[in-house]
Amino acid sequence: MDGLTLVISQLKQLADEVVYHEGYLTIYPDKQHHPACICLIYEADALPEAINFSHAVYYIVLGNAAGMAAWGIPSEFISSFPYPVSPLPTAAADSPDHRAEVVTYVLNDQQNDPDCRISLSVISAFNCLLHLNCHCVVPAALIPRLKAIANSNISFTESRPSQDAFTGCRLLIAAGEPALQGILAGLPVIIAGPAGLGGLVTSDNLPAFFTSAFRGRPGGRVGERIASGLLMEEIKYAIEAAESSELAYLTGLSGSQYNNLRVFSPGYINEAVAGTILAQQQLIHCLSNGHLSRTLRPALSASVIVLEMPGSDSYWLQQVHTNKILAVAGEYEIALIRLCNGNRTLEEIVTALGSNYDLTDCTGFITSLWQQRILYFPEQIPSTINRQSLP
Q: Using one digit for the tens of pLDDT, what is the confidence trace for 123-161?
A: 999 999 999 999 999 999 999 999 999 999 999 999 876
Q: What is the pLDDT of residues 280-305, one digit of tens each?
A: 888 888 888 878 888 999 999 999 99
Tell me the C-alpha distance between 103 and 166, whole Å: 10
* Most confidently modeled range among 43-52, 169-178, 226-235, 284-293: 226-235
Query: In 3-state terms, what secondary structure has residue 115?
Result: coil
Quote the pLDDT of residue 161.
64
Fold of 289-389: Outer Surface Protein A; domain 3 (3.90.930)
Is there a contact between 75 and 54 (Cβ–Cβ < 8 Å)?
no
pLDDT of residue 381: 46
pLDDT at residue 386, as a whole number: 41
Q: Please, what is the average pLDDT of the chain? A: 84
Check the CA dihedral 48-53-55-61 and report its sign.
positive
pLDDT digit string, tens, across residues 41-87: 988 788 889 988 877 789 988 876 667 888 999 999 998 887 777 65
193 pLDDT above the threshold of 50:
yes
Buried b (16+ CB within 10 A) or exposed e, 219-249: ebeeebebebeebbebbeebbebbeeeebbe
CA dihedral 165→166→172→173, nearest 10 degrees, is 0
pTM: 0.70
Q: What is the pLDDT of residue 390?
A: 39
As a whole number of angstroms, the distance between CA 108 and CA 150 comes to 19
CATH topology of domain 102-264: Rossmann fold (3.40.50)
Q: What is the side-by-side strand order in the sheet with 304-308?
A: 304-308, 315-319, 325-329
Domain boundary assignment for the chain: 3-81, 102-264, 289-389
- Of 278, 277, 274, 387, which is closest to residue 7 (Cα–Cα)? 274
How high is the pLDDT of residue 185?
Answer: 82
Q: Does pLDDT of 19 surpass 70?
A: yes
- Give the model's pLDDT for residue 86: 67
Residues 6 or more apart whose CB falls under 8 angstroms from that of 148 comprise none
